[in-house]
């Protein structure tokens, strides 16, 4: 097919953040672009994820702050009993979603992107089928196609959902009601964030985690401190090592709990509602991937570091994939970065992505964030490459700004190489941890040494000095290691 005979230079299937950034970047570079979306513009993040959940966390966080009489009394402040309106908190989230969705759509339109409403699918190489809601089916061609269909909440076997008494984060962001007692299945970032919202608004929470400890995906030292505040300090009944083997919707909701290893029934609960927060699965069904010979891995579309879709380990010409559907790092900002990178590679600019430098954050009160390697992965790399791993801790309780805020419960762990000083990763729990992690992410991206970073001047008094202290501690360890190495030789 000749270049002139294509309907578009690029067709993007999916208008979440990955698809949005890909389409806009391509259009800004002068390409003829179409984006296909079967649901709401903005995908999961804008409509059912990052955006509405952060609006709920912001509002419920204000309620928590005003209701914390002990904390306020430390400032000499005595507030009246806190009152809130659930519907107005929900309205705040819904209005924010509508605004960002509208802005996103207008941005694409101004860039010249053609927006196609319908379900997109592959119909062979460089061919896309679009089935509109009316039933009309269209066949379009594009020089290059980008898959950006995102992900959906995962509901384990044995759990029935009805969207009202048993639901996922898709429904939870609507905050249609506040159950007196809610069970949250899963203690990852989704479960933790909603536990933060629900407890602030007066709900009793039971957290059920199948793995042997709560918060299993977080650094163990960070978990130890964070759990004291975010779980134990809020009187959340957290149960680890048990599986919600059966959940039946109703009034009440019935939950059967089984011991994770033996699968033997150990308890049963009757609660008002259940939030299923057990992760996400790729939205790749219906893409007709078989028409181009692509085999998924548990539903994830295989790609290389340039975003090219792979068939038997080899790149498939003119087909790319970005975002959650690839299963690399299921974060909105990762999807956005992948989308831009895919377009650059389409245009012949050879670029790859550095997943190690992409930060992640959990927006609880206080926040949790991380970037780079976990301590376990760093130790494995150290053993493999033959270097000594360095680790330092910097505490918020020594930080003037945190003390001024009466928010000194916090910790930063920094991981680095003792031979070169290169920063390998960081894990933070504390006030504004989601903002603090970006400085370390930049250092990881540039493969900078703590010896250099320790000389950078930070504003006083700010929370950023927590990072400065960690860099200085690490630089001292590095200097000692260098001296020891020289003496040994």
* pLDDT tens per residue across span 298-316: 999 999 999 999 999 999 9
Which residue is associated with the tokens 């548990």? 298
Residue 335: strand, helix, or coil: helix
* pLDDT tens per residue across span 355-413: 999 999 999 999 999 999 999 999 999 999 999 999 999 999 999 999 999 999 999 99
Residues forming CATH 3.50.50.60 domain(s) in the chain: 8-150+283-353, 154-279
The total number of residues shown for the chain amounts to 489
Beta bridge partner(s), residue 414 = 392, 426
> What crossing angle do the helices spanning 189-200 and 50-67 adopt, rounded to 10°?
40
Task: Tell me whether the omega of the peptide bond preceding residue 366 falls within 30 degrees of 0, making it cis.
Answer: yes
Task: Report CA-CA distances (Å) from 262 to 97, 185, 187.
Answer: 44, 19, 21
Check if the beta carbon of residue 146 is closer than 8 Å to that of residue 321: yes
Binding-site annotation: residue ranges for FAD: 54, 120, 149-151, 324, 330-333
- Looking at CATH, the fold of the domain delimited by 356-488 is given as Enolase-like; domain 1 (3.30.390)
Helix (H) or strand (E) holding 270: strand 265-271
Residues with Cβ < 8 Å from 42, sequence gap 6 or more? 15, 16, 17, 20, 51, 97, 100, 101, 104
Beta bridge partner(s), residue 282 = 151
Instruction: Provide the pLDDT for residue 4.
Output: 63
Residue 159 CB: number of other CB atoms within 10 A?
20
Mean pLDDT of 67-72: 94
CA distance 298 to 300: 6
CA distance 331 to 45: 9
Check if the beta carbon of residue 328 is closer than 8 Å to that of residue 334: yes
Mean pLDDT of 249-268: 96
Instruction: Provide the pLDDT for residue 20.
Output: 98
pLDDT band for 483, please (50, 70, 90 cuts).
confident
Instruction: Provide the pLDDT for residue 182.
Output: 98
Task: Tell me whether the omega of the peptide bond preceding residue 461 falls within 30 degrees of 0, making it cis.
Answer: yes
* pLDDT tens per residue across span 17-42: 999 999 999 999 999 999 999 999 99
Radius of gyration (C-alpha) of the chain in whole angstroms: 24
Q: Is domain 154-279 in CATH 3.40.640.10, yes or no? A: no
Binding-site annotation: residue ranges for NAD(+): 186-193, 209, 279
Check if the beta carbon of residue 294 is closer than 8 Å to that of residue 102: no
Read out DSSP for 416-453? EETTT-BEEEEEEEETTHHHHHHHHHHHHHTT-BHHHH
Taking 80 as the threshold, does the pLDDT of residue 3 lie above it?
Answer: no
Q: In this structure, what token pair is assigned to residue 86?
A: 């659930």
Taking 80 as the threshold, does the pLDDT of residue 151 lie above it?
Answer: yes
Active site residue 432: no
Exposed, middle or buried: residue 117 (CB in 10 Å: 0-12, 13-18, 19+)?
Answer: middle
Give the active site residue among 78, 432, 458, 460: 460
Check if the beta carbon of residue 6 is closer than 8 Å to that of residue 293: no
Residue 338: strand, helix, or coil: helix
Closest by Cα among 291, 316, 318, 290 to 303: 316
Binding-site annotation: residue ranges: 54, 120, 149-151, 186-193, 209, 279, 324, 330-333
Instruction: Provide the pLDDT for residue 124.
Output: 96
Check if the beta carbon of residue 281 is closer than 8 Å to that of residue 270: no
CA distance 338 to 346: 12
CA distance 409 to 429: 8
pLDDT band for 487, please (50, 70, 90 cuts).
confident
Helix (H) or strand (E) holding 36: strand 33-37
Mean pLDDT of 460-468: 98
Label residue 341 left, alpha or beta by phi (over 0 means left) and psi (-120 to 50 means alpha): alpha
- What's the chain's average pLDDT? 96
The CATH superfamily holding the domain 8-150+283-353 is FAD/NAD(P)-binding domain (3.50.50.60)
CA distance 432 to 368: 8
Closest by Cα among 326, 289, 286, 283 to 304: 326
Taking 90 as the threshold, does the pLDDT of residue 334 lie above it?
Answer: yes
What are residue 433's phi and psi, to 5 degrees? -60, -30
pLDDT band for 489, please (50, 70, 90 cuts).
low
Read out DSSP for 179-244? -SEEEEE--SHHHHHHHHHHHHTT-EEEEEESSSSSSTTS-HHHHHHHHHHHTGGGT-EEEESEEE
Closest by Cα among 41, 60, 146, 54 to 98: 41
Residues forming CATH 3.30.390.30 domain(s) in the chain: 356-488
411-417/389-395 β-pairing? antiparallel
Taking 90 as the threshold, does the pLDDT of residue 245 lie above it?
Answer: yes
Mean pLDDT of 472-484: 91
Residues with Cβ < 8 Å from 489, sequence gap 6 or more? none
CA distance 120 to 182: 37
Q: Count CA atoms within 13 Å of residue 25 on its CB side.
A: 20
């Amino acid at each position: 097919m000749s270049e002139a005979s294509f309907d578009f230079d690029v067709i993007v299937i999916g208008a979440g953040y990955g698809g949005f950034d890909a389409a806009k970047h391509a259009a800004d570079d002068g390409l003829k672009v179409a984006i296909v979306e079967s649901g709401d513009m903005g995908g999961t993040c804008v409509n059912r994820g990052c955006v509405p959940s952060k609006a709920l966390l912001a509002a419920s966080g204000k309620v928590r702050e005003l209701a914390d009489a002990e904390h306020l009394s430390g400032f000499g402040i005595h507030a009246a009993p806190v009152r809130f309106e659930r519907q107005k908190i929900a309205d705040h989230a819904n209005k924010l979603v509508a605004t960002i969705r509208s802005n996103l759509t207008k941005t694409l339109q101004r860039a010249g992107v053609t927006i196609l409403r319908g379900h997109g699918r592959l119909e062979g190489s460089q061919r896309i089928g679009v089935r509109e809601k009316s039933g009309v089916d269209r066949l379009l061609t594009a020089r290059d196609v980008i898959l950006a269909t995102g992900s959906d909440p995962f509901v384990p076997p044995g759990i029935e959902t009805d969207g009202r008494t048993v639901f996922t984060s898709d429904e939870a962001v609507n905050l249609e009601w506040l159950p007196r007692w809610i069970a949250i299945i899963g203690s990852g970032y989704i479960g933790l964030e909603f536990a933060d919202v629900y407890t602030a608004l007066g709900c009793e929470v039971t957290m059920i985690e199948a793995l042997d400890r709560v918060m299993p995906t977080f650094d163990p030292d960070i978990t130890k401190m964070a759990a004291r505040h975010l779980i134990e300090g809020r009187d959340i009944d957290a149960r680890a090592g048990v599986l919600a083997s059966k959940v039946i919707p109703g009034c009440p909701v019935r939950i059967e709990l089984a011991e994770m290893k033996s699968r033997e029934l150990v308890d049963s609960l009757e609660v008002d509602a259940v939030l299923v927060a057990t992760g996400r699965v790729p939205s790749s069904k219906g893409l007709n991937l078989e028409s181009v010979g692509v085999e998924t891995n548990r539903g994830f579309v295989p790609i290389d570091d340039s975003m090219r879709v792979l068939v038997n380990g080899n790149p498939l010409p003119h087909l790319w994939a970005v975002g959650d559907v690839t299963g690399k790092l299921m974060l909105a900002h990762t999807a956005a970065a992948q989308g831009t990178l895919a377009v650059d590679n389409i245009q012949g600019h050879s670029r790859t992505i550095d997943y190690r430098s992409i930060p992640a954050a959990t927006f609880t009160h206080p926040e949790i964030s991380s970037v780079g390697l976990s301590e376990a992965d760093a130790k494995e790399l150290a053993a493999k490459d033959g270097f000594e791993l360095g680790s330092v801790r910097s505490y918020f309780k020594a930080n003037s700004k945190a003390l001024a805020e009466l928010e000194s419960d916090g910790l930063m762990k920094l991981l680095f190489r003792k031979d070169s000083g290169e920063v390998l990763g960081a894990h933070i729990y504390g006030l504004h941890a989601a903002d603090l992690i970006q400085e370390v992410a930049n250092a990881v991206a540039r493969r900078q040494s703590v010896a250099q970073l320790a000389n950078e001047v930070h504003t006083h008094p700010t929370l950023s000095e927590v990072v400065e202290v960690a860099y200085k501690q690490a630089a001292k360890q590095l200097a000692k290691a260098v001296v020891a190495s020289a003496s040994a030789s």
